[in-house]
Structure 1
Amino acid sequence: MKESKSRKVLMEDGPRQIAKVKKTVDWKFLGSSFAVPISLIVDENRKDLTAKYKKKKMILMKVFEGSYRVEPLYVDSERLCNNMEPKSPAEYKRCSGGQGRIASKVTMNQYFKPYPPFNLPPLSWYIRKVTIKNTKTALKTLQTWGINLRNPGAVTSTDKYGNVTISPRKKRKTTNIENTRLNEYT
């Protein structure tokens, strides 16, 4: 995601919200990066943590729609909840005594079809490959952003397979003058 241009709420009904979203997405093609404007209609349900989206206007794409769902994963449930499968975060907090960790599992379905002649086999294969790669990159960026939000100052890196690793925080080196000043105040 390069830039969010606008977001207009079309309908809001409790936890459900339908919005028209205009964004600019980075599209990498033949070693160059292009800004592609997209306009989507997004139907979000904040209670179920689900969303459906479809294109309103997009360059090259005849059909572009999809959905995603965010589900909680109770990481320590086997160890802390004595083989009880929690049904909600509140139940998990109760059975784990507040010690359990909750992770998120994102399930994403996306369907797209380019306009002719880009839907012909050699070009369509390439567009499919680039679209999948850009979607994975966006999800990895979101994952890295979440890690940095939870661990300020931590250094994250991505290996050649796209796995994100966290390095411990780097300690700042102090000079002799700073050490002297620190010793004066302690």
Structure 2
Amino acid sequence: MPCFTAMRAEIALMSGSAFAVTHHAFSSGAGRTSDGNGSHASTLKSPSYTKSVSWQHYLKTEQLQLDTAMWDTAQAKDKMDAWLSGPNANKIEVVIANNDAMAMGAVEALKAHNKSSIPVFGVDALPEALALVKSGALVGTVLNDANNQAKATFDLAKNLADGKGAADGTNWKIDNKVVRVPYVGVDKDNLAEFSKK
């Protein structure tokens, strides 16, 4: 589900269980969210599931919009342009995209609307996104760790081919037929570690 989110107040949610917290974290005030979903196997957990499980005891949010940008920079820019021209434009305090391409579209739109101070987060830690983090245009991105995903796939497949249980002798945990490889947040504080790769 290509989630593209514009938010107000405490929390920004993405499907796929990634999130970012802004300056009002853990207050009791109501925030407002706007997210969009198509359909994609990589985002098995919905934003509402993520919100209810991860934040049910901390934050309340209210949805502003629901739309998708289908992993595409141009579509994300168009959606963000529309949101910034809409009735909730002044309520948006943070933008979360479920990939860096959509985050880059949001950055372009925010710049065009003179609202570059609104924080934007993406997912994938692409070189272009890392450059935007370095410049300050993107607050952060999340490394979707392809190397460890490949390792997990190989380890599980090898075990099955050898007649063993899929996770036998590995550190991988299977939850409802899914192996979750941890995401790693990337921002200015740890950017150098990822810029070398």
The two structures share one fold, judged by TM-score above 0.5? no
Structure with the higher fraction of residues in strand conformation: 1
Structure with the higher fraction of residues in helix conformation: 2
**Shorter-normalised TM range:** under 0.3
Normalized against structure 1, the TM-score is what? 0.28
Work out which of the two has the higher radius of gyration on C-alpha atoms and give 1 or 2: 1
Normalized against structure 2, the TM-score is what? 0.27
Greater relative contact order (Cα < 8 A, sep 6+): 2
